[in-house]
């Protein structure tokens, strides 16, 4: 990707990062009794948007209505605040390690930025859609679910990564 030589980005040792993440999961359970997540915040954003733009539709919808609390905004929700924290934490790390730069697209050597962006959106659409069936994403369902010995968590974990490996071949040009 960048052939002009930026020095190699400095990353934490992945096992160390994993230990930290594992400890964070335990700490989150210890403090809140639940795990962390991410897709839930996007869902709250969707519900909030639909509710703002078309309240009747939101309230009569069998799906959105479940997530509209009576006296407050759908965004007034633990996961939304936590995800905002994720943004901040990512920014903090990016600043410390010098990775915050102007907007750029990452892609494999054999593809273009444009193609990559198209697939990014499509991938996001699929992922968002699937995350509702899965009751979570890799963070909330797979990681936290498995860590807490939830059967569903392990199912989601295996399904995501198993499928990823199964279809990787078809998208290889995006990456390598």
Partner 1 sequence: MPLLIFSENCGFNSTFKILTMGPLIPNDIITGDWNFVIAILIGIAFGFILEASGFSSSRNLAGVFYGYNFVVLRVFFTAVIVAMVGLLYFDYFGWLDLSKIFILPTFLSPMILGGVIMGVGFVMGGFCPGTSFTGIAIGKTDALFFAIGLFLGIFIFGEAYPYFANFYNSGNMGNVTLTDVTGIAAPWFALGFTVIALAAFWVTAEIEKKVRKNMKEYKF
Least distance CB 134 / partner 1 (angstroms): 3
Q: How crowded is the C-beta side of 82, counted as CA atoms within 13 Å?
A: 19
140 near 134, Cβ under 8 Å? no
Cα 148 off chain centre by: 19
Least distance CB 71 / partner 1 (angstroms): 15
Least distance CB 56 / partner 1 (angstroms): 14
Least distance CB 67 / partner 1 (angstroms): 9
145 near 136, Cβ under 8 Å? yes
109 near 1, Cβ under 8 Å? yes
Return the number of the residue (52 or 176) whose C-beta is nearest partner 1: 176
CA distances from 2 to 7, 98, 116 (A): 10, 15, 15
């Amino acid at each position: 990707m960048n052939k002009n030589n930026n020095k190699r980005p400095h990353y934490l040792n992945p096992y160390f990062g994993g230990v930290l993440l594992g400890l964070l999961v335990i700490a989150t359970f210890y403090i809140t009794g639940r795990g962390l997540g991410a897709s839930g915040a996007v869902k709250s954003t969707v519900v909030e948007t639909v509710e703002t733009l078309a309240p009747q539709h939101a309230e009569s919808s069998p799906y959105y209505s479940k997530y509209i609390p009576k006296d407050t905004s759908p965004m007034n929700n633990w996961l939304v605040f936590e995800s905002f924290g994720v943004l901040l934490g990512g920014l903090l790390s990016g600043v410390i390690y010098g990775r915050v730069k102007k907007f750029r697209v990452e892609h494999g050597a054999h593809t273009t930025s444009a193609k990559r962006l198209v697939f990014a959106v499509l991938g996001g659409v699929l992922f968002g859609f699937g995350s509702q069936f899965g009751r979570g994403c890799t963070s909330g369902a797979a990681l936290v679910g498995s860590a807490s010995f939830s059967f569903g968590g392990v199912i989601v974990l295996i399904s995501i990564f198993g499928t990823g490996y199964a279809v990787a071949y078809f998208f290889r040009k995006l990456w390598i």
